Amino acid sequence: KQEVTQIPAALSVPEGENLVLNCSFTDSAIYNLQWFRQDPGKGLTSLLLIQSSQREQTSGRLNASLDKSSGRSTLYIAASQPGDSATYLCAVARFNKFYFGSGTKLNVKP
């Protein structure tokens, strides 16, 4: 069974810092890996999707990498801002199912 782990569970940083969120998964047979943002009481906003054949994706200040063989992905956030405060979820897709990590709760202090 696929298990997805995210560390750290929570992170508090001052504004302007660069930071890295980690995601690991146990089964490398994945279709893709996706990073989401979840604001309190809200749904999911897709940030980046990496297909299983890709190594990384970038969008603005966000960069996500994927190392399928080691079962790891990282989300890099450059020059963090208070508006980045949210819970970040990673999910791996396989056979039409998403397996989610429990998230990293990020707080960016002004």
Partner 1 sequence: GAVVSQHPSRVICKSGTSVKIECRSLDFQATTMFWYRQFPKQSLMLMATSNEGSKATYEQGVEKDKFLINHASLTLSTLTVASAHPEDSSFYICSARVVGTVYGYTFGSGTRLTVV
Phi first, then psi: what are they for 84, rounded to 5°? -80, -10
Residue 100 contacts partner 1 per CB under 8 A: yes
Strands 4-7 vs 56-59: parallel, antiparallel or unpaired = unpaired
Residue 89 contacts partner 1 per CB under 8 A: yes
Residue 50 contacts partner 1 per CB under 8 A: no
Q: Report how many residues bind partner 1 under the rule CB under 8 A.
A: 21
Residue 103 contacts partner 1 per CB under 8 A: yes
Which residues are near partner 1 by CB under 8 A?
Answer: 4, 32, 34, 36, 41-44, 46, 49, 89, 91, 93, 96-103
